[in-house]
Amino acid sequence: MYDSIKTFRPLVIVCILCTSWVCFAQVQDPSKAKSVPAVKNNDIVKPAVDPLKKATEGGLPAAPPAKATDPNKPLTGNIGNPKAPDAVPAKGNDQKKPPANEEVASSDETAIRQSADAFTAAYNAHQSKAVSELFALKAEVTDENGNVIKGREAIEKDFAQTFEKFPETKLQLEIGSIRILTPNIAVEEGIVRGQPIPGEGESVSAYVAVHVKVEGRWLLASVSDYAIPVEMTANDHLQELAWMVGDWIEESPDSAVKSSVRWDETGNYLIQDFVLHIAGAANASGSTRIGWDALRGHLKSWTFNADGGHSEGYWTRDGDSWTVKSHGSNAKGEATSATSVYRVLDGDTMTWRSYDRVVGGVPKGDVPEFIIKRHAPMPGF
């Protein structure tokens, strides 16, 4: 309300002056009216003529017509304070919108993530054609050994060979960052985790992928893998022998081979309890602890026979076979040595044999290969 009063105050003053002059003119006798000289008052000169008449005749500039105002809007401006600048009109609840280039970048990043998801799905489904179609025609793939594959057709062929060699291979991508360098070039970096053979340790490597936009579609132009040094634990190394966990047995009229393998409470060792009764070859029972020898970089076993003998052995792998070369001494103090071979046939079947057996410098007969089956847990064993 106060602003409204300030707005109309000059207009009210003009109206009061005009009304006073009109009333004065009506009271005076027109025949005796005469000009009144101008009178100075506080350096402001008042004309002696009717200001309303003078204004209408063009002697004084008429006041500009008032602009129509919306009664529902507050009055603004610098009325009553001529030195104050006009206030900037409010824009209401306008939301600040992101620049157009940011919206495009966000859309491009979404498209690249969708491409990564499509790659993972096609790879895990072993669809080499679908995988290759995510690459540009002249794309390149460089593995962590520096081998380079050039062209979409060669890339499709390479993936087909991988799927044939590892029929159950799977991978998982972990995108670390996506950078949109230009409207047509982007760089993706991350980690790829693969498991060529189920149940075995996974392979982990870093990758850098360069994407190019071709006819509105993001395609892979270059992919490079890099090895990541990973510090493995004893348990990580022992995962290669995790298939041994369980109870195994082979019985015949003249022999018996029983083995029960479990993890110890720390997960850093495998413990094997065994019984061997082989006619004319070997009779032994005892316990073996298998762990990781970080100094030599090998899996190592320590065997303690029930009769007091003991031995140490180092394990090496060759495909589906494990060879254990051991040496030690028996309860009589005689040096012993032997080579044993475990061979995996399937998830529930393995073979075992022993050769190059020497006791006290005297060669002993070989133990023939036995087929040992996984068995239900053996009570009391």
pLDDT tens digits for range 272-324 = 999 988 776 567 889 999 999 999 999 999 999 999 999 999 999 999 999 99
Q: Where is average pLDDT lowest: 219-228, 231-240, 276-285?
A: 276-285
Do both 202 and 290 map to the same domain? no
How distant is the alpha carbon of residue 220 from its chain centre? 19
pLDDT on residue 200: 77
Residue 240, token pair as written in the block: 């290669």
Residue 284 lies in a domain: yes
Q: Which residue has the tokens 């290969």?
A: 369
Do both 198 and 120 map to the same domain? yes
Do both 219 and 244 map to the same domain? no
What is the percent of the chain where pLDDT is above 70?
Answer: 70
End-to-end CA distance of the chain: 100
Residue 219 lies in a domain: yes
Given a cut of 80, is residue 2 above it in pLDDT?
no
Tell me the CATH number at 332.
Answer: 2.40.128.20
Residue 288, token pair as written in the block: 């073996």
Do both 148 and 205 map to the same domain? yes
Do both 191 and 256 map to the same domain? no
Do both 330 and 258 map to the same domain? yes
Averaged over 243-256, what is the pLDDT? 86
Do both 139 and 266 map to the same domain? no
Residue 314 lies in a domain: yes
Residue 95 lies in a domain: no
Residue 84 lies in a domain: no
Q: How many domains does the chain have?
A: 3
Averaged over 29-43, what is the pLDDT? 45
Which of 227, 244, 272 terminates a domain? The answer is: 227
Do both 267 and 290 map to the same domain? yes
Do both 190 and 239 map to the same domain? no
Residue 65 lies in a domain: no
Residue 136 lies in a domain: yes
Alpha-carbon torsion, ordered 283, 289, 294, 295, to 10 deg: -50
Which of 227, 254, 275 terminates a domain? The answer is: 227
Q: What distance in Å separates the CA atoms of residue 183 and residue 213, rounded to the nearest whole number? A: 8
Residue 168 lies in a domain: yes
Which of 227, 260, 293 terminates a domain? The answer is: 227
Do both 256 and 350 map to the same domain? yes
Band (pLDDT 50/70/90 cuts) for residue 378 is low
Tell me the CATH number at 148.
Answer: 3.10.450.50
pLDDT tens figures, 259-270 = 999 999 999 999
Do both 339 and 247 map to the same domain? yes
Do both 181 and 241 map to the same domain? no
Indicate if the alpha-carbon torsion angle 149, 153, 158, 163 is positive or negative.
Answer: positive
Q: SS3 sequence, the chain?
A: CHHHHHHHHHHHHHHHHHHHHHHHHHHCCHHHCCCCCCEEECCEEECCCCHHHHHHHCCCCCCCCCCCCCCCCCCCCCCCCCCCCCCCCCCCCCCCCCCHHHHHHHHHHHHHHHHHHHHHHHHHCCCHHHHHCCEEEEEEEECCCCCEEECHHHHHHHHHHHHHHCCCCEEEEEEEEEEEEECCEEEEEEEEEEECCCCCCCEEEEEEEEEEEECCEEEEEEEEEEECCCCCCHHHHHHHHHHHCEEEEEEECCEEEEEEEEECCCCCCEEEEEEEEECCCEEEEEEEEEEEECCCCEEEEEEEECCCCEEEEEEEEECCEEEEEEEEECCCCCEEEEEEEEEEEECCEEEEEEEEEEECCEECCCEEEEEEEEECCCCCC
Residue 300, token pair as written in the block: 């190592």
Band (pLDDT 50/70/90 cuts) for residue 54 is very low
Q: Where is average pLDDT lowest: 80-84, 110-114, 170-174, 181-185?
A: 80-84
Tell me the residue range of the domain where 40 lies: 2-57
